[in-house]
Amino acid sequence: MNRVIVQVPMSKELKEKAETVSSDMGFSSLQEIIRLFLNKIAAGEVNVRFEETVKLSPKAVKRYDKMIDEIESGKVKTEEFTDTDSLMKYLNDN
């Protein structure tokens, strides 16, 4: 098999972050995940979409954490529905 080396210039910080994330995903190295990605692209088995990740402000995180705590502690009552019809009946009745 003929092999080539692809060099991709990037910041040290980007490389370190990518290594950490790929390791957390179970890959043994950054090269392994890049090889997998390139194989999938070459085979036409992957579609690439770029979307921004929503990051909440610290204030919003605190607010949502408080809401979750109140729900889990039973302080705030919630309803559970097994199907759309029961949800709609509840919404129409209230």
Q: What is the pTM of this model?
A: 0.48
CA–CA distance, 58 with 45 (Å, rounded to integer): 38
* pLDDT band per the 50, 70, 90 thresholds, residue 50: confident
Other beta carbons within 10 Å of 23: 13
Residues 30/18, Cβ–Cβ less than 8 Å? yes
Q: Give 61 or 47, the one with higher predicted confidence.
A: 61
The contacts of residue 56 (CB under 8 Å, 6+ apart) are: 64
